Amino acid sequence: MPSLIRDLSRDPVRNMFRVIAVIVAVAVVLGVGADTSSRVARAAELETGNTDVGLFDPGSGRWHVRYRDGSINSFYYGTPGDLPLLGDWDCDGTDTVAMYRPTSGFVYLRNSNQEGVADREFFYGLASDVPLAGDWDGDGCDSVAIYRNGEVFIRNELSTGVADSSFFFGNPGDRPFAGDFNGDGIDTVGLYRESTGLAYFRNSLDSGVADFEFFYGAPSDRIVTGDWTADGADSVAIFRPSDGRFYVSYANVQQEADVVFAFGDGDWWPVAGDLGEPRGLPDLAYEEIGSGFSSPLFLTAPAGDQRLFVVEKAGRIIQIAADGTRSTFFDITAIVSDNGERGLLGFAFHPAFGENQLFYVHYTDNAGDTVVREYRLAEFGPSSTRILLQVDQPASNHNGGMLQFGPDGFLYLGLGDGGGGNDTYGNGQNQNTLLGGIVRIDVASGASSLWAYGLRNPWRFDFDGDSIYIGDVGQNSWEEVSVGQKGDNFGWPVFEGFQCNGGAACDTLDAVPPIRAIANPDEGRSVTGGFVYRGSAIPALQGTFLYSDFVSGYLRGFRLEAGQVVAERDWTPSVGQLSSVSSFGEDGFGELYVLSFDGRIRKLVAG
Ligand SMILES: [Ca+2]
Ligand SMILES: [Ca+2]
Ligand SMILES: [Ca+2]
Ligand SMILES: [Ca+2]
């Protein structure tokens, strides 16, 4: 068979068709993938060399890149229907994403693996061409070639222009790939015939017969190449859409995969390359630590304390001892109004609780108004307390909730816009009310002031350094996650997410846009803000903000650097959807928990 192909492939377009019928049966027999279960377990020992993999989901326009340590970064770049590329466009040794738009022949390059606009764009090729990334001249920089019906058009510059060279290789319908198969520092072209699983390789950029070929994969597999073994030469891997697995071969020979790992889903397009130092977010899992709580909506603990304190909406705080024993720590159900969005909504220990035994609650009183109250544990009783803040609530909804000490020692409270719909009471942009904002309370003097505003219902927030991460529940179209500082205006109701909701005012308002806007109802209906992870059990999660949604129950997170999202992930496909996620919680050591209104509490652990 090999000699037959070589003899005939002087005119490969015509003659490669002739051998298809012969090799179909062989390819099925030799296809990779036998006994995958034992090989999936080996993913952790994958010799990746300098090679990482990525997948582009053409349905959503979302990328998922997997670093060699197994961590993953997901981000939107490109639009449905684009073809993905990965290459070193700026010659810094790290590969980044690009999109080829088949409808226009435009290439859109990014020099970083994160959401954003193209760093460079240019036109090369025609509609229906297939793009290839490679270093065709060995200068250490990748550029884009295109494959068109059995002809390859090489270009060494990232700009619009004519091909530097072209040559014939393969048949119309073959799927081209590129790689440095002989380790000479020059990328050349291979062809994968999906219908048969036969791959053809060429080591020079000119017309001619395949230098070698072998069977790898099964029909509909998608091929990538990478230097998995760090010996300077690229070898093949395939992504199998039918099982969402990569099958990696350490040599360009016909053999079973050296390693198999699960990554991705369905009809996604694979890439491979050198993503540089791992910057992705690690696998996570839920570990249920308790159930049977009554509408739990918060969890906290004093720093360094082994106990957990669970807030139940009706007005109870349940203490969970280190051995799991539960007891009632605190009960103010008699003074809490608990219906709809009302209840005991926030709870915070004083940073010096160990010495002064002070703690703080935010609840809706029996008149339906907001109260923030201080208690001292040793003197607990209705008369032993100090009311720090009372705010009249014009409606039963949008009462905010979160209560947390900031790093500056002040106590912060999230308050909604007063309720109704679409800011009925006009509080979002009114700086003369505490409603619709983040309120700063000086617990020493009892003074309160508006610290940030333009919020609809900041149910949960978290301070990290001098930044606040806010989950702000949206109206009809967009749930928001925003990050800001003192004095910021988050835009409600002039903006909902990035969307203008206030006509001409949108042009002049100096509002902080959200970091993420989550489409309602497609992705979520009521965002549940979380925490920036500062625990120690999952080091690779450090600095990541995690959040969810009360209705859709996803688990998402991102990490910022200089205000930009540099790592992002949606763990829902691996951890599953939860029901009625009411809040996240943080224990005395910075580990995080997810609370569901169905009474269950789960700890976030390494996956
Ligand atoms: Ca680069
Ligand atoms: Ca080059
Ligand atoms: Ca080469
Ligand atoms: Ca290699």
With beta carbons less than 8 A apart as the criterion, state whether 187 and 178 touch. yes
Q: Compute the distance from residue 112 Cα to the ligand 1 centre, in Å.
A: 7
Written as one letter, the residue type at 587 is D
0.85 cut: is pTM over it?
yes
With beta carbons less than 8 A apart as the criterion, state whether 320 and 290 touch. yes
Q: Compute the distance from residue 314 Cα to the ligand 1 centre, in Å.
A: 55
Q: Compute the distance from residue 254 Cα to the ligand 3 centre, in Å.
A: 20
509 pLDDT higher than 60: yes
Q: Compute the distance from residue 52 Cα to the ligand 1 centre, in Å.
A: 14
Q: Compute the distance from residue 136 Cα to the ligand 3 centre, in Å.
A: 9
Q: Compute the distance from residue 598 Cα to the ligand 1 centre, in Å.
A: 47
Q: Compute the distance from residue 88 Cα to the ligand 1 centre, in Å.
A: 4
Q: Compute the distance from residue 73 Cα to the ligand 4 centre, in Å.
A: 25
Q: Which CATH class is domain 292-527?
A: mainly beta
Q: Compute the distance from residue 186 Cα to the ligand 4 centre, in Å.
A: 14
Q: Which ligand is nearest to the CA of 183?
A: 3
Q: Compute the distance from residue 23 Cα to the ligand 3 centre, in Å.
A: 27
Q: Which ligand is nearest to the CA of 89?
A: 1
pLDDT at residue 42, as a whole number: 44
Nearest to 450 by CA among 401, 408, 488: 488
Q: Which ligand is nearest to the CA of 252?
A: 4
What's the pLDDT tens digit per position in 223-242? Answer: 999 999 999 999 999 999 99
Average pLDDT over residues 362-386: 85
Please identify every residue whose CB atom is under 5 Å from ligand 3, which is an ion.
180, 182, 184, 186
Q: Compute the distance from residue 203 Cα to the ligand 4 centre, in Å.
A: 15
Q: Which ligand is nearest to the CA of 47?
A: 4
15 pLDDT higher than 80: no
Q: Compute the distance from residue 276 Cα to the ligand 1 centre, in Å.
A: 9
Q: Compute the distance from residue 118 Cα to the ligand 1 centre, in Å.
A: 14
Backbone angles phi, psi at 38, to 5 degrees: -70, -25
pLDDT at residue 127, as a whole number: 82
Q: Compute the distance from residue 394 Cα to the ligand 1 centre, in Å.
A: 55
Q: Compute the distance from residue 91 Cα to the ligand 2 centre, in Å.
A: 9
**What's the longest Cα–Cα distance across the chain?**
97
pLDDT at residue 50, as a whole number: 82
pLDDT at residue 35, as a whole number: 38
What's the pLDDT tens digit per position in 516-528? Answer: 999 999 999 999 9
Q: Compute the distance from residue 186 Cα to the ligand 3 centre, in Å.
A: 4
pLDDT > 70 fraction of the chain, expressed in percent and rounded: 91
Q: pLDDT-based confidence at 218, cuts 50/70/90?
A: confident
Question: Could you tell me which residues are beta bridge partners of residue 284?
Answer: 606
pLDDT at residue 378, as a whole number: 74
Q: Compute the distance from residue 54 Cα to the ligand 2 centre, in Å.
A: 22
* Strands 235-240 and 370-376, sheet pairing: unpaired
30 pLDDT higher than 50: no
Q: Which ligand is nearest to the CA of 179?
A: 3
2 pLDDT higher than 50: no
Mean pLDDT rounded to a whole number for the chain: 90
Q: Which ligand is nearest to the CA of 180?
A: 3
Dihedral Cα 422, 425, 430, 435, nearest 10 deg: -90
Residue with tokens 């040599």: 251
pLDDT at residue 37, as a whole number: 37
pLDDT at residue 220, as a whole number: 84
Q: Compute the distance from residue 250 Cα to the ligand 2 centre, in Å.
A: 25
What's the pLDDT tens digit per position in 265-313? Answer: 788 999 999 999 999 999 999 999 999 999 999 999 999 999 999 999 9
pLDDT at residue 202, as a whole number: 97
Q: Which CATH class is domain 2-273?
A: mainly beta
With beta carbons less than 8 A apart as the criterion, state whether 148 and 157 touch. no
212 pLDDT higher than 90: yes
Q: Compute the distance from residue 116 Cα to the ligand 1 centre, in Å.
A: 16
Residues contacting residue 144 through CB under 8 Å, at least 6 positions apart: 85, 87, 98, 100, 107, 124, 131, 132, 133, 155, 158
Q: Compute the distance from residue 454 Cα to the ligand 2 centre, in Å.
A: 50
What is the spatial distance between Cα 140 and Cα 424, in angstroms, rounded to a whole number?
60
What's the pLDDT tens digit per position in 47-93? Answer: 677 899 999 999 889 999 999 888 999 999 999 889 999 999 999 99
33 pLDDT higher than 60: no
Q: Compute the distance from residue 138 Cα to the ligand 1 centre, in Å.
A: 15
Q: Compute the distance from residue 95 Cα to the ligand 2 centre, in Å.
A: 13
With beta carbons less than 8 A apart as the criterion, state whether 101 and 125 touch. no
Average pLDDT over residues 547-573: 96
pLDDT at residue 270, as a whole number: 96
pLDDT at residue 9, as a whole number: 25
Start-to-end C-alpha separation, the chain: 46
pLDDT at residue 11, as a whole number: 27
Q: Compute the distance from residue 354 Cα to the ligand 2 centre, in Å.
A: 63
List the chain domain ranges. Answer: 2-273, 292-527
Q: Compute the distance from residue 233 Cα to the ligand 3 centre, in Å.
A: 8
